[in-house]
Structure 1
Amino acid sequence: MQPSIEYWRKELQLEPHSEGGFFKETARSEQTIKTSRGQRPLYTSILFLLTDKNPSHLHRLNSDETWYYHANDPLSIHCIFPDGHYQEIVIGPQVDKGQVLSYTVPKNTIFGSSVAQGHSLVSCVVAPGFDYRDFELFTQEELLKLYPQHQTIIKQLAYQSLPH
């Protein structure tokens, strides 16, 4: 029997994230790096729990983000790349079925993640480090204007209106 959502949230002290799911920052580099948007930590890392009812909504970062599978069910990362093409990457334990244990989402890619059934525990490392000033959430309306060919995933993973 796999650990429950409640188990992970309690034991790992996870809090709700504005993009969806539950998280806790686990590392923030003391070293910094100068970016076009100012000084950022060299890297940051979080634990991230997503459920079939609480996905990671479509967003964009100005840094690469590497996802690492840890436990429970597989998770799909849905990417709309800067050139407009879409790809779904499944991270999970069944590498013999095409799943991968980790995947790096390139900077400036619009992406979100979903769990088909159950819940998935992953960690994410962002380099240069995560900063909310480099984080963009999108509405369905905004993305449908840019990528009408990806209507299905946009309606599934983009907010109708942004949370407050």
Structure 2
Amino acid sequence: MKSQQEWIDTLQLEKHPEGGYYLRTEESEETVVRNNQERKLYTSIYFLLTTESPSHFHQLTVDEIWYYHDGEPLTVHCIFEDGHYEQIKIGKDISKGERLHYTVPKGTIFGSTVDKDYALVSCAVIPGFDFTDFKLFTKKELLEKFPEHEMIIDKLTLEKI
């Protein structure tokens, strides 16, 4: 297994605004129109998260599919539109309930953590990702709406964006 720094160097990953490191690897030549805006049909990134650099709580207006590649299992923390919280483990040990891939439904507020070292995944978005579909949250915003999830909100949100 490669080290996190070997993956960052080999794949030429850059810091992502929500945390972790990424590189856009794929985008469709075909486009679609969504909300009067031309978009790529799909996009995909490599995404590496570490214990020190998790994915902070954010929300997309489209579904995002996560595919596990290497490293330790990763936990996707989801606050669904109805307000319930759930943890989904992505990794290769199916016997322990881990999943090789997971689709985060649009509108879900989510972030991800790695308990030890790092996890390397790919994320695919259809239609293609655009930062106009992305919202990052502050701790205050989420605690006002979901005080019952204070422990995980404290862990995965920033005071200021």
TM bracket, shorter-chain basis:
over 0.9
- TM-score, length of structure 1 as denominator length: 0.96
Post-superposition shift, 1:47? 0.2
Aligned match of 1:10: 9
Q: Give how far 1:128 is off.
A: 1.1
How much does 1:38 deviate? 2.0
Q: d(CA) in 1 for partners of 2:125 and 2:139?
A: 25
User: Aligned runs of 1:6-155 on 2, under 5 Å?
Assistant: 6-36=5-35, 38-155=37-154
- The two structures, once aligned, show a CA RMSD in angstroms of 0.8
Matched to 1:11, the amino acid is: T
Query: Identity percentage over the alignment?
Result: 52
Which consecutive aligned stretches of 4+ in structure 1 deviate over 4 angstroms post-superposition?
none
The one-letter amino acid paired with 1:39 is E
Partner SS state of residue 129, structure 2? coil
Supply the AA of the counterpart residue of 1:45.
S
Secondary structure of residue in 2 paired with 1:87: strand
Name the aligned partner's letter for residue 69 of structure 1. Y
Helix, strand or coil at the partner of 2:2: coil
Q: Structure 1: where are the runs of 5+ without partners?
A: none
Once the 2 structures are TM-superposed, how far is the Cα of residue 116 of structure 1 from its aligned partner?
0.7
